[in-house]
Amino acid sequence: MDVLRMSSLKGRDLLSLAGLSSEEFHGLLDSGLQLKRGWKAGVRPDLLRHKTLAMIFEKQSLRTRSTFDIAMAQLGGHSVLLSQNYIGWGVRETIRDVAHNLERWVEGIMARTYGHATLTELAEHADVPVINALSDLSHPCQLLADYMTLRETFGDLRGLKLTFVGDGNNVCNSHIEAATHAGVELTIACPEGFDPDAAVLERARERGGRVTIERDPRAAAEGADALYTDVWISMGMEEEAEARRIAFAGYTITPEWFDALSPRGVFMHDLPAHYGEECSEDAVYHPRSVVFDQAENRLHAHKAVLVQLLADLPED
């Protein structure tokens, strides 16, 4: 997929990585890397000139909100920020009505929702592309940036060993889908009761995904090329905080864990980090951490998504 050529993604929604073909997934990584190189070399393409993205947030965000906004601006477009406080969807008016208003004004909608069903309802009614900016089920845009980071760090993805330690929640579910597209061997270490979504796992295994669930996090980290974690208490789970801190005892990643990784092994986190819970601060600021490369790549991954879904590119 050439970033300057129209692809099969034009006009589509991006609700999960499972909704992409493996070719489309790799094409987005290629596009993101190409756009990043171009930007750093001073290329300033106006690929989204006169296009507008509506950004709906039911929850907080630093990285996703900023980088989609900056991506639109750097590509010559514009974004409109709509928090749930402003629009009151599902309360002040229906999601269907919101969709049928927005589609008359903007070329794309990205939304961060609690329930994934809210996103699918929005996508069902809006006739412009809808992008998942994090739901309770998945975080596809995060994994695009993460896999760009793995490409930059290791070159080839096939056969890499990635271990995810922590909650089998949204980020973990997208890991399963990304690893399946990329031929990455994924081990997930989570306590019983915190497994990833069963349907996501089953679909990945049907597609040849190599995913193992392990209960011993230190054993799971042995020989990993990348050790990845996410918060134990995701947004919306605050009431379960104490129970979760107990369930995840022994899952706090510190630099001592890094000795067990493969010699080239790196530490990854999608951020925000809750220090003293899923990891220590010195793990994030360790020389083997690529955490801020991941954050940087959110910008370029989102440019790739926006260009492939929204831009008017030549067909060949």
Which residues are at the interface with ligand CP (CB under 6 A)?
Answer: 61-64, 134, 142, 270-271
Q: Which of ligand NVA, ligand CP, none does residue 62 bind to, with CB < 5 to 8 Å depending on kind?
A: ligand CP
- Does the footprint of ligand NVA cover residue 170 (CB under 6 A)? yes
- Does the footprint of ligand NVA cover residue 121 (CB under 6 A)? no
Q: In this chain, which of 55, 171, 200, 307 binds ligand NVA, going by CB under 6 A?
A: 171
Write the secondary structure of 206-243 as one string of H (helix), E (strand) and C (coil): HCCCCEEEECCHHHHHCCCCEEEECCCCCCCCHHHHHH
Q: In this chain, which of 169, 229, 289, 308 binds ligand NVA, going by CB under 6 A?
A: 169
Nearer to ligand NVA, 13 or 230 (CB): 230
Least distance to ligand NVA, CB of residue 44, Å: 29
Q: Say what angle helices 291-310 and 22-40 make with each other, to 10 degrees.
A: 110
- Does the footprint of ligand NVA cover residue 113 (CB under 6 A)? no
Element at 85 (helix H, strand E): helix 84-87
Least distance to ligand NVA, CB of residue 290, Å: 17
Which residue's Cβ has the minimum distance to ligand NVA?
234
Nearer to ligand CP, 59 or 203 (CB): 59
Q: What are phi and psi of 42, to 5 degrees?
A: 95, 10
Cis peptide before 272 (omega within 30 of 0): yes
Nearer to ligand NVA, 1 or 111 (CB): 111
Nearer to ligand CP, 4 or 62 (CB): 62
Residues whose CB falls within 8 Å of the CB of residue 12, separated by 6 or more in sequence, listed in order: 19, 129, 309
Closest by CA position to 164, among listed 152, 156, 172: 172
CB 43 within 8 A of CB 58: no
Site for ligand NVA in 124-143 (CB under 6 A): 134
* Segment interacting with ligand NVA, rule: CB under 6 A, options 84-92, 163-171, 246-254, 260-268: 163-171
**Helix, strand or coil, per DSSP, at residue 53:** strand
CA–CA distance, 197 with 187 (Å, rounded to integer): 15
Nearer to ligand NVA, 6 or 237 (CB): 237
* Segment interacting with ligand NVA, rule: CB under 6 A, options 17-25, 169-177, 205-213, 217-225: 169-177
Give me the sign of the Cα torsion angle 161, 166, 171, 177.
positive
The residues that touch ligand NVA, with contacts defined as CB under 6 A, are: 134, 169-171, 230-231, 234-235, 270
